[in-house]
Amino acid sequence: MKAFILDRYKKKGALRVGEMPDPVVAQDDVLIEIHAAGLNLLDSKIRDGDFKLILPYHLPLILGHDLAGTVVRIGSNVRRFKPGDEVYARPRDGRMGAFAEFIAVNEADVALKPKNLTMEEAAAIPLVGLTAWQTLVERAQLKRGQKVLIHAGSGGVGTFAIQLAKYLGATVATTTSTANIDLVKNLGADVVIDYKTQDFSKILSDYDVVLNSLDGATLQKSLAVLKPGGKLISISGPPDPTFAREQGLNWVVRQVVGLLSFGIRKKARAQRIGYSFLFMRANGEQLSEIAGLIEAGAVRPVLDRIFPFEAVNEALAFIEAGRSKGKVVVKIK
């Protein structure tokens, strides 16, 4: 099958287009013919080698964490899907590979595609949808009437998280650039901070939750807007000891991870704020719930641009520039 392949880690290195063996379908797997794949900064960071110490991959590998397509074959234990089903998925860690014509995915990571979305729209959802769900519903347990600050509201996670937080009944503040103010307001943001002209930490206060996807300086300043008992949840790091334990990292790496987040955890404790790092995990059941919200009109995908399959490297460069609104997708079939 045709695929885009990572042969070695290299900063902004190009993926190689070539032939790879067809996926092996285990007894709990579904084989999916991929119609569209979403791109994420996670793909660029893996390509650059940013995670090689804590997420050791065996090269060569195929990148790509978001997909939508059609089931073409199922393993002997699969009961939830059949050939011909239109599905979408974020494969579990270690089983990525959406920049290809086919992929085998554990059925637990797969859900039926929302009926009202195209394949390209559906491929934009899994990673950002699961990230928003696991941050706001699971970790934050966001409730009606609470206040949440979602950084980078015009990005992939931000555009989804704003809508989900509004569905949950929260008051939503977000940071964005001047050009994207109307976009985030239309998604439901109640308070919009133009980060080019305003300092969110001097405007917002008494918030229950902050979802951070930006740099360390933004993370530190976010403490100022939270009330005692509030939750600061970061999807961009630094990782914390809980993450290290969950990943099964060795003792030395766990100590390093603990040091990386020691400063922010200490400051958070001093202000009676909980800090945690979230590394999204695959979950087909949650994708099914998200599909229900999409079909009900509560949430919609925000799609910036669709690239042809042969332009995967150009698409990655586009999202790395940091100006995309919502998600970028490649059309494969």
In this predicted model, which residue has the larger pLDDT, 67 or 248?
67
pLDDT of residue 244: 81
- Give me the chain's average pLDDT, please: 95
Encode pLDDT of 265-276 as tens digits: 999 999 999 999
Encode pLDDT of 67-99 as tens digits: 999 999 999 999 999 999 999 999 998 899 999
**Position 57 pLDDT exceeds 90:** no
Number of alpha helices (DSSP H) and beta strands (DSSP E) in the chain:
12, 16
Q: Quick one: which of 275, 294, 278 has its CA closest to 286?
A: 294
pLDDT of residue 52: 79
- Helix, strand, or coil (residue 323): coil
Q: Which CATH superfamily is domain 128-277 in?
A: NAD(P)-binding Rossmann-like Domain (3.40.50.720)
The CATH 3.40.50.720 portion of the chain extends over: 128-277
Residues of the chain with pLDDT > 90, as a percent, come to: 88
The CATH 3.90.180.10 portion of the chain extends over: 2-125+301-331
**Position 54 pLDDT exceeds 80:** no
Single-letter amino acid code for the residue at 73: R
Single-letter amino acid code for the residue at 291: A
Number of alpha carbons in the 13 Å side-chain half-sphere of residue 280: 28
pLDDT of residue 56: 73
**Position 164 pLDDT exceeds 80:** yes
Pairing of strands 2-6, 66-74: unpaired
Taking the C-alpha atoms of residue 310 and residue 16, their distance in angstroms, rounded to an integer, is 10
Which CATH number applies to 2-125+301-331: 3.40.50.720, 3.40.190.100, 1.10.10.1100, 3.90.180.10? 3.90.180.10
**Position 130 pLDDT exceeds 80:** yes
